[in-house]
A and B are shown apart, each in its own frame.
Chain A
Amino acid sequence: MLFYTVKRLGMALLVAFTVSFLTFALLYVAGDPATAILGPNATDVDIAYIRKHYGFDQPLLVQFIQWLGRIVQGDLGYSYFFQVPVSDILLQRLPITIQLGLLAFSLALLIALPLGIAAAARPNSLVDRLALFLSVAGQAIPSFWMGLMMIVIFSVNLGLLPSSGNDSWRHFILPTVVLGYYATPAIMRLTRSSMLEVLSSDYVRTAKSKGLSRTTVLYKHALRNAVIPVVSLAAAQLGFMLAGSVVIESVFSLQGAGMLAWQSISRGDLPTVQAIVLLFSIAYVALTLLADLFNAWLDPQVRMAQ
């Protein structure tokens, strides 16, 4: 397990390094950064000054290493728009996004796993049909539309919950439900199909032939194997929910990082965009690493593979 962990960790670091280089390059792909800061009417003198001031006149590699050195120390750059360090803004915005992501992810797992297992345990039963209905509906309904409908029903008509902002836990209920429901179908369908496959496997038959109870067969023998592909999917989903809640955040006016990313792109605030892309990419890499380690713990064959 130790060998595997070290190996996977090394790979994750390599990926993170590559990602950081790509993120760094983002600034230059978008055009001359000095012009971007100063706008189209800048004089040559101003541009030359900014180039020197921000170090844009250095070779690219030197700039990258300097930039990376600052990132490692927690300096994510200086926002063109807010005129404050990017890390200050992110410290306000990230907790909201992380909260929303984790809440929605937990909700999705709480619905998807039990329903998926129950559906597989009794295919074509009432539970299975209900699960199918829920997942088809979840996949068919766009989340922005569902968000708006929830606001119409629960905020406007019933007046039960606030429709926008992030001042209290009550503000998080509607966004959590919408984002969680969005992530549920894929996890549930995969849980069901994976569980069905495992339940028809030879080793489950062996387990039954030992006279083990239905519950033991289901949870001890089947689930452990069936959940392996689900773990990878769930990790990707969580990464997606952290990075991709832009729609939900804007529907519910949550001042999260997703919203910030979208606004910064339209404002041309490249250091902020860069920092968010970098953070989310590294979160993604970290989640994948965690999923792999969890799977290695579940599956001895993965763990021992040299």
Chain B
Amino acid sequence: MTSLLSIQGLQVDIATPGGTLQAVKNLNLDVQRGETHCIVGESGCGKSITALAMIGLLPEKARITAGSILFEQQNLACLNEAGLSNLRGNRMAMIFQEPMTCLNPTLTIGTQLTEGFLRHGKGNRKAAYERAIMLLEKVGISAADKRFHQYPYSLSGGLRQRVMIAMALMCEPDLIIADEPTTALDVTVQAQILATLSELKSEMGLSLIVITHDLGVVARIADNVTVMYAGEAVETGTVSQVFGNPGHPYTVGLQKSVVGSADRDSQRLSVIPGRVPSLVGGLTGCRFRNRCPHAIPKCAEADIDMSELEADHTYRCLRNVSAGRPEMTGGVL
């Protein structure tokens, strides 16, 4: 079975005044039809840049310098703007982080919902209106017709994010990329939005890529997960594999720094010491080594390849530190 989306060896460079910044390095990612794939990592690890690269909306200073993004056998990395804009909003759609600023304040919700539908020739205005109302109801917005004619300022953040979801679904895309879809929302609203997203995903049979830093989100909705650190994928597998049997020290650290996972004896939340290295200029070796309790000199010598821990579960580490091994139980992190 071929994947809906297959990213091979993706590299994204950003030109900065200090030199070239390797925002994404040698990233591989496969998303099957109907799969929910989470990309997780802390701020600046390259997860949002990856999302923007997928939909061809990288900021001007960022450039795909190597690799391919195959979407239904079509390489998006080589596609021109016209080709990309035919796919955008049509076959793949995106939901952004900030619902408060992502809707145009001077256009009605209805205009913004229907314009993509009309642009991609999915039907006439009447069909667009009907689909918009249907989807607004589906994402849990009551009085859909009233909302259709309103401007964004009269909607709350949660409602706006629901509108964004409805908007993403307008053209029945195969893939939705959601970049931190719930980060800007209240905790209760977060849960509702996530539930809506997963329901719609299974109902419409689409694939979902969710970018998040929140492991709670991952646990709630993901089938598979890719953990990113400093522009690299450090571990990938199913949710139960990655969280149940983490292979990379960074994954372990992430898990331990989640509220609720605090060590019962110390009652303190773990933090990963140190900071993410600067990605400007060439970096060799493991990018996590200066924060890693298991680092050995060899970690700095050469770039480390992904190795297989079990079927479909790979990680990027020289040390075998998965759960149950003596190094890990020390809980040094």
Contacts and interface: CB of A to CB of B under 8 A. Distances in A.
Interface of A: 201-214, 216, 220-221, 224-225, 298-301, 304
Nearest to A198: B104
A221 B104 contact: yes
B119 A225 contact: no
A203 B90 contact: no
Contacts of B154: 304
Interface in B74-122: 81, 84-90, 93-94, 96, 98, 101-107, 112, 115-116, 119-120
B104 A210 contact: no
Nearest to A206: B102
B39 to A, nearest CB: 17
B153 interface: yes
Nearest to A223: B106
B27 interface: no
Given A202-B96, A212-B115, A207 B104 contact: yes
Contact of B89 (A210, A214, A225, A298): A210
A225 B167 contact: no
Interface string B165-185: 001000000000000000000
B106 A298 contact: yes
Interface residues of B, number: 31
Contacts of B164: 206
Nearest to A204: B104
Interface in B41-79: 55, 57
Q: Per DSSP, are chain B's interface residues mostly helix, strand or loop, or mixed?
A: mixed
Contact of A202 (B87, B93, B98, B115): B98
A93 to B, nearest CB: 41
B125 to A, nearest CB: 16
Nearest to B60: A123
Interface of B: 55, 57, 81, 84-90, 93-94, 96, 98, 101-107, 112, 115-116, 119-120, 151, 153-154, 164, 167
Given A202-B101, A203-B103, A216-B119, A209 B153 contact: no
Contacts of B101: 201-203
Given A202-B102, A206-B96, A211-B119, 4 more contacts: A204-B104, A209-B57, A209-B89, A209-B93
Contacts of B98: 202
A225 B105 contact: yes
Contacts of B88: 208-211
B196 to A, nearest CB: 19
B148 to A, nearest CB: 14
Contacts of A214: 81
A201 B96 CA distance: 12
A210 B102 contact: no
